Amino acid sequence: MTPRSNPGARRAPTAGRVPANVGPEETAVAYVDMWNERDYSAVPRLVSETFVMYDPAAPAEGVPGPRGEVHGRAGLRQFVEFVTTAFPDFEITILDLLAGEDLVMYEVRLTMTHEGPLGGVPPTGRRVDVRGVSVLRLDGGVVTEHRFHTNTTDVAEQLGLTFPQVIGQLPTLLLGKVRSSL
């Protein structure tokens, strides 16, 4: 594997224009751009029909696959929509990337503001800034598997959803529940 480092974001020209026979690094960057640009038309060119994503944020309902997993191209699109509905300004920045022939690992910074429903949790309006690591497995130039690793406790703490922080959030959460039931 060849390490590559970039203190800023890595960008492909556009996620929807992934040329044939690109290298693993370019495929990974285009995959991240698909997330950032919400370019669902790029999904069939970027991921296999048998794609599986392992992410602790994947819900048990509304996305194909069990809790913590996303299955298939349609599942990926539904998961991106799930995340970006809860966090409309969701953005991934690649901090460091290591690419091999059929495996890409990259460290990311995720930034987002909780402005939409997240499962049963109404918007908190809080900003989240966390780091994580993604591992992509490739076959024939497309992503077959994506494993995302982060400290989910950091996310919960920044959203104010850990004890005792949640006590201060109860009025906001209850008001959000009442509004969503009307």
Lowest mean pLDDT among 14-28, 38-52, 64-78: 14-28
Half-sphere exposure of 80 (CA within 13 A, CB side): 21
- The pLDDT tens digits for 55-83 are 999 988 889 999 999 999 999 999 999 99
150: nearest Cα among 104, 121, 111: 111
Q: pTM higher than 0.85 for the full model?
A: no
Whether the per-residue pLDDT at 16 is higher than 80: the answer is no
Half-sphere exposure of 32 (CA within 13 A, CB side): 29
5-11 mean pLDDT:
47
The first and second tokens of residue 168, run together, are: 């201060």
Residue 175 CB: number of other CB atoms within 10 A? 11
